[in-house]
């Protein structure tokens, strides 16, 4: 089987409100796939349907070839989950909770190895309620990994982290990919999607509005921009947009050389994922 996850025509309503409005995507084995979108877009609803925690409305979903709604044991043993909100295991230590969760799986990873992977070395004997918010989130990640799953769901894994903890979590997620795991990640942080995801779907109001690799999404969305400082001394930039930067640069630099001026601050750029995201998710 090529794809870890297949979703087609998925819909889900809460009462009268349709939170997911017909989405399709596939996650290939071994890739990190990012569902990126603002709060309320429908990310958690989608992920919880795939995890088997919520019934879908309409459409088809397959997770490792299984229907998650049946919560088959064979699927649960191969999937690791970090929920958006955490924490029932407050009174036990880091090591105890990991040993317990590990014992539920047929082939768990060594607890010490998992503790090292998420950066909780030294906290083994600390009770969960004494951990900081960022450390608790690392424990969540450790819980998702201890069963050595092949597919991992991470719902906003770094929300509330300070920058150092975010970078550490990113390293952990990269190491999951290096271990050959498949990761479905939700985030409302662009840089996180850009850093981690092989492919991204931007979701808004229950619909996927665009899908592709972070670079493709940036580059496919618009022309090159050539910018340089205006020579009137007020610090403003002249910006040209073009699909043929080679020709335009040649023309601009030839003119500048002939007139003995310099194109200060010269740059050639394309729209980034951030430009695309802000444009697509902006409220009308
Ligand atoms: N259990 C629920 N009951 C009613 N409405 C819900 C429920 N869960 C989510 N919603 C609504 O569905 C929409 C999508 O929510 P959610 O999937 O949590 O989005 P996201 O994770 O992208 O922030 C939001 O408008 C949210 O208020
Ligand atoms: Mg959410």
Index of the ligand 1 atom closest to the CA of residue 41: 22
Same domain, 186 and 47: yes
| pLDDT the model gives residue 113 | 92
Instruction: Read off the pLDDT of residues 24-51 as tens digits, 9 standing for 90 and up.
Output: 999 999 999 999 999 999 999 999 999 9
- State in Å: Cα 39 to ligand 2 middle: 7
pLDDT score, position 160: 75
- Same domain? For 62 and 170 the reply is yes
Q: Which of 203, 218, 233 represents a domain boundary (last residue)?
A: 218
Can you read off the two tokens belonging to residue 153?
A: 């769901």
Intervals of the chain under pLDDT 70: 1, 84-88, 219-221, 284
263 and 132 in a common domain: no
At residue 155, the pLDDT reads 92
The reply to whether 230 and 214 lie within a common domain is no
Residues 57 and 192 both lie in one domain: yes
Residue nearest to atom 16 of ligand 1 (CA): 42
| Domain enclosing residue 226, as ranges | 219-281
Phi–psi pair at 255, nearest 5 degrees = -65, -45
What is the total count of domains within the chain? Answer: 2
Could you tell which of 44, 47, 188 is best to mutate to test the pocket of ligand 1, judged by most ligand atoms within 8 Å of the CB?
44
Task: Render 122-190 in DSSP notation, one character per residue.
Answer: T-TTSBGGGS-HHHHHHHHHHHHHTT--SEEEEESTTTT--HHHHHHHHHHHHHHHHTT-EEEEEES-H
The whole-model pTM stands at 0.82
pLDDT of residue 179: 86
In this structure, the answer to whether residues 63 and 129 fall within a common structural domain is: yes
Given this model, what pLDDT does residue 219 score? 65
Residues with CB under 6 A from ligand 1: 14, 19, 37, 39-45
Query: Which of 218, 236, 266 marks a domain boundary?
Result: 218
- 235 C-alpha to center of ligand 1: Å? 46
């Amino acid at each position: 089987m090529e794809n870890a996850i297949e979703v087609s025509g998925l819909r889900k309503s809460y009462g009268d409100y349709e939170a997911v409005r017909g989405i399709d995507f596939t996650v290939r084995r071994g890739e990190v796939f990012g569902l990126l979108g603002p709060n309320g877009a429908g990310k958690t609803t989608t992920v919880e349907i795939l995890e088997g925690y919520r019934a879908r409305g309409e459409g088809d979903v397959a997770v490792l070839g299984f229907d998650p709604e049946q919560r088959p044991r064979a699927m649960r043993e191969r999937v690791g989950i970090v929920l958006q909100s955490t924490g029932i295991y407050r009174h036990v230590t880091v090591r105890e909770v990991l040993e317990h969760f590990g014992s539920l799986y047929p082939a768990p990873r060594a607890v010490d190895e998992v503790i090292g992977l998420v950066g909780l070395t030294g906290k083994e004997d600390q009770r969960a309620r004494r951990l900081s918010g960022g450390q608790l989130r690392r424990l969540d990640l450790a819980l998702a990994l201890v069963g050595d799953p092949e597919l991992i769901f991470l719902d906003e894994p770094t929300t509330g982290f300070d920058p150092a903890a975010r970078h550490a979590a990113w390293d952990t997620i990269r190491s999951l990919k290096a271990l050959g795991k498949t990761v479905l990640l939700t985030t409302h942080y662009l840089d996180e999607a850009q850093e981690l995801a092989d492919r991204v779907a931007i979701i808004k109001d229950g619909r996927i509005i665009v899908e592709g690799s972070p670079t493709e999404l940036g580059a496919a969305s618009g022309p090159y921009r050539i910018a340089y400082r205006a020579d009137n001394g007020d610090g403003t930039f002249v910006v040209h947009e073009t699909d043929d930067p080679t020709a335009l640069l040649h023309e601009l630099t030839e003119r500048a050389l002939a007139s003995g001026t310099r194109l200060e601050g010269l740059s050639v750029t394309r729209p980034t994922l951030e430009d695309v995201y802000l444009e697509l998710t902006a409220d009308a």
